[in-house]
Structure 1
Amino acid sequence: MFSKQEAQQLKKEFWTAFGKSFPRKWILYDTKIKDMSFKFYADNKKAEVSLDIEMKDEVFRNAYYEKIWSLEDILKDYIGEFHKDEHFTLENGKTISRIWVEQYGVSIFNKNTWQQTFEFFLEKMDGFERFYYEYEDFIKDV
């Protein structure tokens, strides 16, 4: 087990190492759609890459979700099998729509799995971004 400070330091080292391994500007929050973003996540059990649709207005959130969902088979071509939840509840109780891919058996606290995690992040986020750039005009037209 790690102390809180050691865990915090390892997390910082992890994200710094990822940035140095793949120095690239990701879309992330720059989708040009308010409250729609791509995210990286890692903890002690898994890594995730997600598209989070966080609009407070459920009508708009659902409209964007349905637009992307209408492209399901195309999205699979870019990122492979994925999970989706139109009404995903975050730890803080907020409901969002989320589409994500995950990889188990990796840990932010195990440096031996970092490279595997970084490659997963690169492959899946690159797929999400290529998909988004290709269909951006369609998705934005809500």
Structure 2
Amino acid sequence: MFSKQEAQQLKKEFWTAFGKSFPRKWILYDTKIKDFSFKFYADNKKAEVSLDIEMKDELFRNAYYEKIWSLEEILKDFVGEFHKDEFFTLENGKVISKIWVEKHNVSIYNKNTWQEVFEFFVEKMDGFERFYYEYEDFIKDI
């Protein structure tokens, strides 16, 4: 196990290495839709790329989720099989809608898996972004 400080340092190194290995401007929060963002996540067991729909107003959150869901088969063409949860509860208790892909048996604390995670991130986030850019007008029309 690592000390808290060692774990924080490894996380910092991980994200720095990812940015240097794949220097690119990602959409992430810049979707032009408030509380509608793409995210990278990694921990000691898995890596994840997600679309998080975090509007407080459940009607709006549901409307955006339904728009994405109506394009399910098309999204699969861009990112492969994915998970979805219209009422995903975050650790802080906040309920969001979430669509994500994940890769298991990798760890932010194991440098031997970093390249595998980086390639997964690039492939899947690129798929999410291409999907979003292609259907952006449809998605935004709420």
Shorter-chain TM-score above 0.5? yes
**Residue aligning to 1:26:** 26
RMSD: 0.2
**Residue aligning to 1:119:** 119
Which whole-Å deviations, capped at 9, do the CAs of 1:73-119 have from their partners, x for residues lacking one? 00000000000000000000000000000000100000000000000
Instruction: List gaps (5 residues or longer) in structure 1.
Output: none
Establish whether residue 129 from structure 1 lines up as the match of residue 123 from structure 2: no
Q: CA deviation at 1:14?
A: 0.0
**Residue aligning to 2:66:** 66
Matched residues, percent identical?
89
Q: Give the 3-state SS of the residue equivalent to 2:99 in structure 1.
A: strand
**Residue aligning to 2:13:** 13
**Residue aligning to 2:81:** 81
**Residue aligning to 2:98:** 98
Which amino acid is 2:129 matched to? Answer: E
Taking the aligned partners of 1:5 and 1:78, their CA distance within structure 2 comes to 38
Taking the aligned partners of 2:23 and 2:110, their CA distance within structure 1 comes to 22
Taking the aligned partners of 1:38 and 1:95, their CA distance within structure 2 comes to 16
Taking the aligned partners of 1:32 and 1:21, their CA distance within structure 2 comes to 27
Which whole-Å deviations, capped at 9, do the CAs of 1:46-90 have from their partners, x for residues lacking one? 000000000000000000000000000000000000000000000
> Aligned residues, how many?
142
Consecutive aligned runs of 4 or more in structure 1 exceeding 6 Å deviation:
none
Instruction: List gaps (5 residues or longer) in structure 2.
Output: none
Q: Give the 3-state SS of the residue equivalent to 1:34 in structure 2.
A: coil
Taking the aligned partners of 1:131 and 1:21, their CA distance within structure 2 comes to 23
Q: Give the 3-state SS of the residue equivalent to 1:121 in structure 2.
A: helix
Taking the aligned partners of 1:44 and 1:93, their CA distance within structure 2 comes to 22
